[in-house]
Amino acid sequence: MSNRIPLRQNEDLQLQRMAAQRRLYSRAKRILSWQMVITVALVVVWSFVERWFPMLKVYAALYGMTAVLLDIAVFTPLQNSLKQKAAGIQELFDCYVLDLPWQEIKAGRRPDAELVAEFSRLPSGVDYSSMKLLDWYPAESGTVPLFLGRLICQRANCWWDAKLRRRYAVWILAITCFLSVLVTILGIARQLSLEAFVLADVLPFLPVLVIGIRQAADQRQAATRLDDLKRHSERLWSQALSGEISEQELTRSSRTLQDEIFEQRRQNPLIFDWAYNRLRDEHEELMNKCASILQMEASAALKEIASQTP
């Protein structure tokens, strides 16, 4: 079976799918931003307002309950729906580019063409190159047989996402620690008593601290699950190069691995675009270097197998 991964990924329809996936995720991240403003930032503001104007306590309580209800009934379902749609479109892209069958039992119904058309429309002055959608997978994946090139791409998927999430978690913790130290320094500078410091500074800041720690923990957990998938892809790679597994068996195993990759995309916490764009170039360079190493390993192994064939 011929390997056309580098060519397939840059076909116009596939670029439209990736553009739609990117914009769906961006919309989910905007909702997350509003969720954080409404459920965290404004709650902190209300805590100060309530202290300055005690007669507004009932309104502060009403706002708190409303924020919780919005979080449960609106923000979280909307984010999950958009993530599901984006993951489905990216799965459609992967199934075509990596030549894998669509698994309806795992991914559900194929995304509608209308959904792709709606979200793939690019703003004026924006093209696929500026969105960095060209050459999504390393070009080296096309220089080896398809069953090996597919594994290179799947491993790159897992490594890339895990690395990005681990770095992002460090950033979140660093920002949270900085804000915690800042709040403490301001409390000391005002020479507050312990009781006043807790009531005036610690309690209002607590929601920010909780969401920062939770976000970092969620990102690390997602990275750990992706590391497990990467190690599984590496076991398949070793078995393929040693001849322990046939091409047909490897294709079935790749399909199973792809199921888990899709599941992670559907469940993983969001990463804001500013962090993704900041880390992308560095990680892309490392990913391409690793793909080159894997390509050389595969070429050497295939040559050895060919020399041993009578």
Confidence of residue 17 (pLDDT cuts 50, 70, 90): very high
User: What tokens does 279 get?
Assistant: 């880390």
User: What tokens does 31 get?
Assistant: 């909702």
The pLDDT assigned to 303 comes to: 76
For 19-41, how does the pLDDT look when each residue is reduced to its tens digit (9 = 90+)?
Answer: 999 999 999 999 999 988 887 77
The pLDDT assigned to 304 comes to: 73
Q: Which helix (H) or strand (E) holds 291?
A: helix 273-308
Token pair 């915690």: residue: 180
For 71-114, how does the pLDDT look when each residue is reduced to its tens digit (9 = 90+)?
Answer: 889 999 999 999 999 999 999 999 999 999 999 999 999 999 99
Q: What is the mean pLDDT of residues 156-162?
A: 92
The pLDDT assigned to 197 comes to: 66
- Distance between CA 32 and CA 135 in Å, rounded? 29
For 189-247, how does the pLDDT look when each residue is reduced to its tens digit (9 = 90+)?
Answer: 777 677 766 666 666 677 778 888 999 999 999 999 999 999 999 999 999 998 889 99
Q: Do the beta carbons of residue 226 and residue 264 sit within 8 Å? A: yes
Confidence of residue 299 (pLDDT cuts 50, 70, 90): confident
Confidence of residue 268 (pLDDT cuts 50, 70, 90): very high
Confidence of residue 119 (pLDDT cuts 50, 70, 90): very high
**Residue 62 predicted with pLDDT over 70:** yes
For 166-186, how does the pLDDT look when each residue is reduced to its tens digit (9 = 90+)?
Answer: 999 999 999 888 888 887 887
- Distance between CA 225 and CA 273 in Å, rounded? 22
Q: Do the beta carbons of residue 271 and residue 167 sit within 8 Å? A: no
